[in-house]
């Protein structure tokens, strides 16, 4: 069955599930797209007759993150082939994570069960768990997660949430894809990757002075969206700072405010070595620019490795990755943690099948059916593309604030950082520090209002 037929079938099953199709109409439509009579009958039984209590269909719907390569759809097809008594309907998520968040959060807030298994951006988990929109992991799934990822406990911690003031917290999700930020560089024009942001600017300018065909020194996520927040928390950590301190208080404009000012000023300096339209770039835009050979360096996710090393691209043979640079007074660069998890809608009418599906997906993560460049399925050949191992880079990580109100916080961070960086492109460099101080003072007040600290 091809992708188009599968999509039609899923819509038929959804209609049957909602009670909009008769048994006869269901069979007629299923047969019209190529199902055998036996398969259609088995699916019909799954839709309305086979269930543990006799009145609920043995069907669930999974909406994933956006998957341009069709990897997740293949996993669903494999699961359905193994389990003819049940059926998983797959929905590919929106290309925009912000749009997907809006759709999913509205559905969960209304306690609707149109989606059973939800792909959750790591930053959404605290809100979803705190609101009771998703439920803690089934014990059998938790056991699998604990066993498979015991060697990387920070991955498990990203799936955990503690309500109120309680310690520890419960596991609310299972890791599907874990990512971290890295710096990509072209080995054909710079043999030694930069350690500091100052080094990066110097190397970029040197290459650009010698190569007219490489007009861009550095591409990154400059548009007003979540990627800009990821870039900022990396730079801030690399200068020794953080958005929140260990007590959860906003730390941008307190006693160590000079650290935050240094970090933001460093980002403002990037405009001199970046494309003029960098304020429109998200992760994908940066990859496209990089693939075409127009930049020396790129900040992106490790997951982008499969794209930049595609043999059809301009830079495939010279694309390497390394750790994120740091400030001049520090010794370590930090990578922002990203990724997606699997959770179960608290309003789902078939949680048993949802847990079974998640458990098998976790096990399938280590098979050839899911080949992606992320920390849970890193390919051995990836080591040939780096001056250090991805495991070594992953020893120095920074997370965005884990708060039920993070999405509101993020909009304020995006706005303040974007405005400061945009001003840097047309203001005198002598005024950049004043701009940074003003932006951070405003952001401090905004975040204090949100977090009530």
The predicted pLDDT at position 24 comes to: 65
Local confidence band at 371 (pLDDT 50, 70, 90 cut-offs): very low
Q: Report if residue 373 sits inside a domain.
A: no
Q: Given pLDDT bands bounded at 50, 70 and 90, which one contains residue 133? A: very high
pLDDT of the residue at 69: 76
Q: Any idea which of 21-35, 222-236, 326-340 has the lowest mean pLDDT?
A: 21-35
Q: What is the pLDDT of residue 342?
A: 97
In the three-class reduction of DSSP (H, G, I as helix; E, B as strand; rest coil), residue 123 is classed as: coil
**pLDDT given at position 380:** 66
Question: Band of the pLDDT at 53, cuts 50, 70, 90?
Answer: very low
pLDDT at 365: 63
Structural contact between residues 87 and 12, judged by C-beta atoms closer than 8 angstroms: no
**Residues counted in the chain:** 453
On whether both 360 and 269 belong to a single domain, the answer is no
* pLDDT digit string, tens, across residues 239-249: 999 999 988 89
**Residue from 222, 126, 166, 160 nearest 421 by CA:** 222
**Is residue 273 located within the same domain as residue 388?**
yes
The one-character DSSP state at 118 is E
Q: Is the CB of residue 59 less than 8 Å from the CB of residue 87?
A: yes
**What pLDDT, on a 0 to 100 scale, did the predictor assign at position 369?**
44
DSSP 431: G
Band (pLDDT 50/70/90 cuts) for residue 166 is: low
Q: Is the pLDDT of residue 184 over 50?
A: yes
Residue 372: per-residue pLDDT: 53
Is residue 370 domain-resident? no
Kindly tell me if the per-residue pLDDT of 255 is higher than 70.
Answer: no
Domain extent for 428? 179-334+384-451
Tens-digit pLDDT profile for residues 23-40: 666 766 776 676 666 666
Mean pLDDT, range 414-432, rounded to an integer: 85
The band of 167, judged by pLDDT with boundaries at 50, 70 and 90, is: low
**Residue 244 contacts residue 117 (beta carbons within 8 Å):** no
Which residues are bridge partners to 178 per DSSP? Answer: 339
In this predicted structure, the answer to whether residue 418 has a pLDDT above a threshold of 70 is yes
Tell whether 192 is covered by a domain: yes
Based on the domain organization, do 114 and 33 belong to the same domain? yes
Going from the C-alpha of 119 to that of each of 106, 275, 278, 300, the distances in angstroms are: 15, 34, 29, 21
* pTM for this predicted structure: 0.87
**What confidence score (pLDDT) does residue 346 get?**
97
Same domain, 287 and 417: yes
Let me know whether 290 and 430 are in one domain: yes
Q: What is the pLDDT at residue 51?
A: 41
Taking the alpha carbons of 86, 91, 92, 96 in that order, is the dihedral positive or negative? negative
Confidence of residue 71 (pLDDT cuts 50, 70, 90): confident
pLDDT at 343 over 70: yes
Q: What is the percent of the chain with per-residue pLDDT over 90, rounded to a whole number? A: 63
* Average pLDDT rounded to a whole number, residues 212-238: 96
Are 218 and 315 part of one and the same domain? yes
Nearby residues of 49 by Cβ (< 8 Å), 6 or more positions away: none
Q: How does DSSP assign 166-234, residue by residue?
A: -SS-EE--EEEEEEEEEEEEETTT-SS--SBHHHHHHHHHHHHHH-TT--EEEE---SSSHHHHHHHHH
Residue pointed to by tokens 């193994």: 82
Q: From CA 246, how far away is CA 230, in angstroms rounded?
A: 19
State which H helix or E strand residue 393 sits in.
helix 390-393
Contacts of 247 by beta carbon, 8 Å cutoff, 6+ apart: none
Distance CA 170, CA 249 (A): 23
Identify the pLDDT of residue 396. 97
Residue 46 is predicted with a pLDDT of: 63
Q: Let me know if residue 15 belongs to a domain.
A: yes
Q: What confidence score (pLDDT) does residue 431 get?
A: 87
Q: How many angstroms from the chain centroid is the CA of residue 70?
A: 17
CATH code for position 153 = 3.40.190.10
Mean pLDDT of the chain: 88
Neighbouring C-beta atoms of residue 254, cutoff 10 Å: 13
44 and 103 fall within a common domain: yes
Between 229-233, 358-362, 364-368, the lowest mean confidence (pLDDT) is in 364-368
Q: SS3 of 344, please?
A: strand
Q: What percent of the chain has pLDDT over 70?
A: 85
Q: What DSSP line would sit under 48-81, residue for residue? A: HT-STTSSS-SEEEEE-S--TT-HHHHHHHHHHH
Report if residue 132 sits inside a domain: yes
Q: For 194-217, how does the pLDDT look when each residue is reduced to its tens digit (9 = 90+)?
A: 999 999 999 999 999 999 999 999
What pLDDT score does 84 carry?
85
Same structural domain, 330 and 414: yes
Structure confidence at residue 47 as a pLDDT band (50, 70, 90): low
Q: Which two tokens stand for residue 346?
A: 């608290």
Structurally, how many domains does the chain consist of? 2
- pLDDT tier at 253 (50, 70, 90 boundaries)? confident
190 and 88, same domain (yes or no): no
How many whole angstroms separate alpha carbon 70 and alpha carbon 36? 25
> Given this model, what pLDDT does residue 368 score?
44
Same-domain check for residues 116 and 256? no
Instruction: State the maximum Cα–Cα separation within the chain, in Å, rounded to a whole number.
Output: 76
Helix, strand, coil distribution of the chain in percent, nearest 5 = 45, 15, 40
Residue 57 lies in a domain: yes
349 in the same domain as 222: no
Q: What is the mean pLDDT of residues 416-433?
A: 84
DSSP secondary structure of 127-173: HHHHTTSB-PPPHHHHHHHHHHTTT-HHHHHTTEE--TT-SS-EE--
170 with 187, same domain: the answer is: no
- The reply to whether 378 falls in a domain is no
Instruction: Report yes or no: 178 and 376 within 8 Å, Cβ to Cβ.
Output: yes
256 confidence band (pLDDT: 50, 70, 90): confident
Q: Residue 374 falls within a domain, yes or no?
A: no
* Residues whose CB falls within 8 Å of the CB of residue 316, separated by 6 or more in sequence, listed in order: 308, 309, 310
């Amino acid at each position: 069955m091809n992708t188009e037929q599968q999509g039609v079938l899923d819509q038929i099953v959804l209609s049957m599930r909602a009670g909009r199709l008769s048994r006869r109409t269901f069979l007629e439509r299923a047969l019209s797209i190529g199902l055998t009579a036996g398969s259609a009958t088995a699916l019909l039984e799954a839709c309305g007759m086979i269930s543990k209590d006799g009145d609920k269909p043995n069907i669930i719907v999974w909406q994933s993150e956006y998957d341009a390569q069709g990897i997740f759809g293949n996993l669903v097809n494999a699961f359905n082939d193994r389990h003819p008594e049940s059926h998983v309907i797959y929905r590919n998520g929106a290309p925009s994570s912000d749009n997907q968040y809006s759709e999913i959060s509205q559905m969960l807030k209304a306690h609707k069960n149109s989606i059973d298994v939800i792909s959750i951006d790591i930053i959404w988990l605290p809100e979803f768990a705190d609101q009771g929109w998703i439920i803690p992991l089934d014990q059998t799934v938790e056991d699998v997660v604990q066993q498979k990822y015991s060697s990387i406990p920070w991955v498990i911690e990203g799936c955990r949430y503690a309500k109120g003031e309680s310690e520890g917290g419960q596991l609310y999700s299972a890791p599907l894809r874990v990512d971290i930020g890295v710096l990509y560089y072209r080995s054909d024009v710079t043999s030694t990757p930069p350690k500091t942001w100052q080094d990066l600017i110097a190397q970029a300018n040197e290459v650009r002075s010698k190569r007219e065909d490489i007009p861009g020194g550095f591409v990154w996520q400059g548009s007003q969206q979540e990627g800009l927040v990821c870039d900022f928390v990396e730079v801030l950590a690399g200068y020794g700072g953080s958005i929140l301190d260990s007590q959860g208080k906003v730390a941008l404009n307190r006693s160590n405010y000079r650290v935050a000012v240094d970090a933001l000023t460093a980002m403002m300096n990037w405009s001199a070595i970046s494309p003029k339209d960098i304020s429109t770039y998200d992760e994908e835009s940066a990859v496209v620019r990089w693939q075409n050979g127009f930049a020396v360096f790129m900040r992106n996710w490790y997951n982008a490795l499969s794209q930049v090393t595609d043999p059809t691209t301009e830079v495939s043979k010279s694309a390497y990755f390394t750790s994120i640079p740091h400030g001049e007074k520090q010794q370590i660069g930090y990578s922002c943690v990203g990724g997606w998890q699997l959770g179960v809608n608290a309003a789902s009418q078939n949680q048993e099948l949802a847990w079974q599906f998640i458990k098998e997906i976790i096990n399938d993560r280590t098979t050839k059916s899911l080949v992606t460049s992320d920390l849970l399925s890193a390919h051995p050949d990836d080591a040939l593309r780096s001056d250090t191992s991805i495991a070594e880079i992953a020893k120095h990580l920074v997370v965005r604030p884990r708060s039920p109100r993070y999405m509101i916080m993020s909009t304020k961070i995006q706005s303040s950082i974007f405005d400061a960086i945009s001003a840097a492109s047309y203001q005198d460099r002598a005024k950049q520090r004043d701009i940074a101080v003003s932006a951070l003072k405003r952001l401090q007040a905004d975040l204090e209002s949100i977090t009530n600290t």
